[in-house]
Amino acid sequence: MTLTMSPVLVWLSFSSINMWVVILSGFNFYHDYFSSKLYPVDSSEEFDFIVVGSGSAGSVVANRLSRNNRVFLLEAGGDPIHLHTIPGLAPDLLHRPQIDWIHKSLPQKDTLKAHVEQVSRWPRGKALGGSSNLNYMLYVRSHPLDYDNWANITGDPTWSYENVLPFFKKSNDYHGHFYNEKHYGQTGYGTLRVEELKWNPLKNCFINAGKQMGYPYIDLNGPQSSGFCELEVNQKNGERCGTFQAFVRPILHRENLVISRYSQATKAIPNKYSLQEGM
Ligand SMILES: Cc1cc2nc3c(=O)[nH]c(=O)nc-3n(C[C@H](O)[C@H](O)[C@H](O)COP(=O)(O)OP(=O)(O)OC[C@H]3O[C@@H](n4cnc5c(N)ncnc54)[C@H](O)[C@@H]3O)c2cc1C
């Protein structure tokens, strides 16, 4: 009985994800709507900075700037929903209009032949935390040479790997396998928790297969060579730790940070002193 019921229960719970996305994001929307009626934003208020979009980048920028400035943060979506924190649901939360912009490519003539109308859908998060609510949480900094190349191309040495490394360390709360002081932070200002993927049953098979083929076991974010490694992810005790959890939620109490949810910027208004007078 239990055996035959389990696939049905699994099917039922997955088929109801759409319903839960609608209910939870609807709750967030109406909660924000009534809060904004009770505590309206003073539209004559002036800010030192306006940050548009609280995605992976905007959340960090708003966090840093609001340490000692008045900051207005505009986000087209609302708070992330609880389902966002469950890593296993990541693929099921894509293409839901309440939390994903669902950008689409133009129909392609020669490619995307397996796609309906040869159109590709490009997910992008629409909520505080942006696409870090939808992504697959792999913590990958990219190769140090990429940064050095950008420094060469732009002629700006601040892009070099040695220069950006302190900022990676600063935003990290690293609990993976490869801790060393040169590459990882644990006690810095940031709370972006990085840890080993909790459930990874095939890990040793892949790493051992790599060793048999003569590849070393490496730290993907360390000084790089070709090799095999385990996955390290932005998670805290198995829950998603996106930029909302790491950089926005801990500072919601700041009085000099005003967040306007469900607010899509349509225009930047410049003045003669600065790039933007308002949005
Ligand atoms: C399915 C998927 C899986 C991925 N997996 C990984 C992974 O495993 N590891 C990894 O490192 N990267 C991954 N990525 C990529 C990574 O998530 C993105 O590169 C990163 O989140 C982009 O950050 P961003 O700040 O540029 O934009 P976003 O995080 O998308 O933020 C943009 C924000 O701005 C808001 N916004 C946009 N326009 C307006 C407007 N006019 N007014 C107000 N607000 C606005 C949006 O609602 C959004 O919240 C993945 C991405 C996707 C979609």
pLDDT digits (tens, 9 = 90+) for 189-206: 668 999 999 888 999 999
Q: Can you tell me which atom of ligand 1 is nearest the CA of 101?
A: 47
Is 197 a pocket residue for ligand 1 (Cβ < 6 Å)?
no
Which residue type sits at 113? Answer: K
How many structural domains compose the chain?
2
Instruction: Let me know if residue 257 belongs to a domain.
Output: no
Domain region containing 168 = 138-233
Residue-averaged pLDDT of the chain? 90
As a whole number of Å, the end-to-end CA separation of the chain is 60
Q: How confident is the model at residue 279 (pLDDT cuts 50, 70, 90)?
A: confident
Distance 268 CA to ligand 1 centre (A): 21
Task: Return phi, psi of residue 222, to 5°.
Answer: -95, -165
Statement to judge: residues 84 and 151 lie in one domain: no
Encode pLDDT of 145-168 as tens digits. 999 999 999 999 999 999 999 989
Statement to judge: residues 275 and 147 lie in one domain: no
Statement to judge: residues 151 and 226 lie in one domain: yes
Distance 7 CA to ligand 1 centre (A): 34
Statement to judge: residues 22 and 124 lie in one domain: yes
Statement to judge: residues 14 and 97 lie in one domain: yes
pLDDT at 8: 65
Statement to judge: residues 119 and 203 lie in one domain: no
Statement to judge: residues 159 and 223 lie in one domain: yes
Q: At what angle do helices 17-38 and 2-15 cross, to 10 degrees?
A: 40
Instruction: Let me know if residue 256 belongs to a domain.
Output: no
Q: What would the mean pLDDT of 115-119 be, rounded to a whole number? A: 95
Instruction: Let me know if residue 60 belongs to a domain.
Output: yes
Instruction: Let me know if residue 242 belongs to a domain.
Output: no
Statement to judge: residues 97 and 61 lie in one domain: yes
Is 60 a pocket residue for ligand 1 (Cβ < 6 Å)?
no
Statement to judge: residues 116 and 192 lie in one domain: no
Pair 126, 100: CB distance under 8 Å = yes
Taking the C-alpha atoms of residue 93 and residue 14, their distance in angstroms, rounded to an integer, is: 11
Report the nearest-CA residue for atom 37 of ligand 1: 53
